[in-house]
Chain A
Amino acid sequence: MKIVKIIAIVLLVAFLGIQFFPVERNQSDSVPKTDFMLVNDVPSDIQNKLQVSCYDCHSNNTQYPWYNKVQPVAWFLEGHIKEGKAELNFNEWDSLSSRRKASKLRSIIKQIESGEMPMASYTLIHKEATFSEEETQKVVKYMENLKDSL
């Protein structure tokens, strides 16, 4: 029992300790002119869906709920955001060439259709980010039209 207590205290200290390591917040006040929503005529329901389901990891601005400010959750999230933004940043959409836009749109469509995105670890907490069948169809159709119009 004594050993358990000691271990517990050590771990507690470690847990409290890591709270002091700063995390780079993915937050920005301004939306650049190159943003996907600004350069494309996106219907409001699709805008809303993308904002809720994609923009947390694929833009310069993440909506942080309280638990995402607690370590090590924040670290975990930070890694995902970094990776997500490297892959696709909706805020910088218009800086891509048409060729790259077409590639990205193809990937967006594939990933939403197959349910790979949004990631399961994300929708686990953000239930509202899940795509219903109807939403999938709508967004995929929009993205396909956009790809054809490039």
Chain B
Amino acid sequence: MSKLKLVLGIVAIAFVTLTAVSCKDAKTDKNNSTEHHSEMNADGDHSKMNHDNSDGHHDGEKKEMTMNGNGTSQAVLNDYFNLKDALVADDNAKAKNLGAVLAKSLGSLDISKYTEAEKSELKEIIEDAVEHAEHISESDIAHQREHFKVLSKDMTDMVAITGTKVKLYEQFCPMYDGGTAWLSTKEEVRNPYYGSKMLKCGKVQREIN
């Protein structure tokens, strides 16, 4: 009988061991296929929504990405605005993808034409913004919005240095996290922090040319 117990005990330990090991493997796998995974999520979510609409968005993204030269602040801003729109639409999966896209375009932003002081400032902004964008690419929507808040501050500071080709509106929602701003290309308010819950909460607090 005690022999049986011993055997069972060993089996139990071994089982736990193998489970933990395989958990670890599964985790690395998940990391490797994050992008793929979120794409699948995106499809899953889209099927719940209006198909035409989401397809249209996809086309728009692609066009914008090819139209704008890589490495420019305008490319970064475009990716930021796409991300903002996904948050306005409460689309967690899409925001994940676009967070990854933004992290990439931030990483390839060319800062060689700026002064030394501007360069170091931009470097810090990019470093911070990349981290937030990466977090957005792997978080639930509440977390995405938290990171988007700080990301918006980074983008505003970036624009202060790089300038912008298109007119921007800095909008402000007094309700989210003690008051929070974001940037938009349109004057009308569409709130990325609340989405459909409070779509029009906020006001334009500044115009940036």
Q: Does A14 contact B (CB under 8 A)?
A: yes
User: How many whole Å from B122's CB to the nearest CB in chain A?
Assistant: 11
Beyond A99-B124, A103-B128, whether A75 also contacts B10 by CB under 8 A is: no
Tell me the B89-126 residues at the A interface (CB within 8 Å): 124-125
Q: Does B198 contact A (CB under 8 A)?
A: no
In the complex, A5→B11 CA distance in Å? 9
Chain B residues with Cβ below 8 Å from A75 are: 20-21, 24
Chain B residues with Cβ below 8 Å from A103 are: 128, 131-132, 150
Smallest Cβ-Cβ distance to A106: which chain B residue: B150
In the complex, A4→B3 CA distance in Å? 12
User: How many whole Å from A2's CB to the nearest CB in chain B?
Assistant: 11
A8 touches B11 (CB 8 A): yes
A8 touches B24 (CB 8 A): no
Beyond A72-B24, A79-B27, whether A11 also contacts B125 by CB under 8 A is: no
Q: Does A138 contact B (CB under 8 A)?
A: no
> What's the dominant secondary structure at chain A's contact region?
helix
In the complex, A102→B150 CA distance in Å? 9
B15 touches A76 (CB 8 A): no
B124 touches A100 (CB 8 A): yes
Interface size of A in residues (CB-CB distance below 8 Å): 22
Q: Does A124 contact B (CB under 8 A)?
A: no
In the complex, A15→B23 CA distance in Å? 16
B125 touches A18 (CB 8 A): no
Cβ contact of B11, chosen from A4, A72, A73, A110, cutoff 8 A: A4
Cβ contact of A15, chosen from B17, B124, B132, B154, cutoff 8 A: B17
Q: Does B199 contact A (CB under 8 A)?
A: no
B17 touches A71 (CB 8 A): yes
Cβ contact of A11, chosen from B17, B128, B132, cutoff 8 A: B17
Q: Does A7 contact B (CB under 8 A)?
A: yes
User: How many whole Å from A100's CB to the nearest CB in chain B?
Assistant: 5
Q: Does A97 contact B (CB under 8 A)?
A: yes
Chain A residues with Cβ below 8 Å from B13 are: 11-12, 15
Mask for A1-31, Cβ within 8 A of B = 1, else 0? 0001101100110110010000000000000
Q: Does B45 contact A (CB under 8 A)?
A: no
Smallest Cβ-Cβ distance to B150: which chain A residue: A103
User: How many whole Å from B139's CB to the nearest CB in chain A?
Assistant: 11
Chain B residues with Cβ below 8 Å from A15 are: 10, 13-14, 17
In the complex, A100→B153 CA distance in Å? 12
Cβ contact of A14, chosen from B14, B24, B128, cutoff 8 A: B14
Chain A residues with Cβ below 8 Å from B161 are: none
Mask for A110-146, Cβ within 8 A of B = 1, else 0? 1000000000000000000000000000000000000
User: Could you tell me which A residues sit within 8 Å of B by CB distance?
Assistant: 4-5, 7-8, 11-12, 14-15, 18, 71-73, 75-76, 79, 97, 99-100, 102-103, 106, 110
Interface contacts beyond A11-B10, A18-B21: sample of 16 additional A-B pairs, CB < 8 Å, sorted by A: A8-B7, A8-B11, A11-B13, A11-B15, A11-B17, A12-B13, A14-B17, A15-B10, A72-B17, A72-B20, A72-B24, A76-B24, A97-B124, A99-B125, A100-B127, A102-B150
Q: Nearest 10 A-B pairs (CB), nearest first?
A: A11-B14, A97-B124, A72-B20, A8-B10, A8-B7, A99-B128, A72-B21, A99-B124, A12-B10, A8-B11
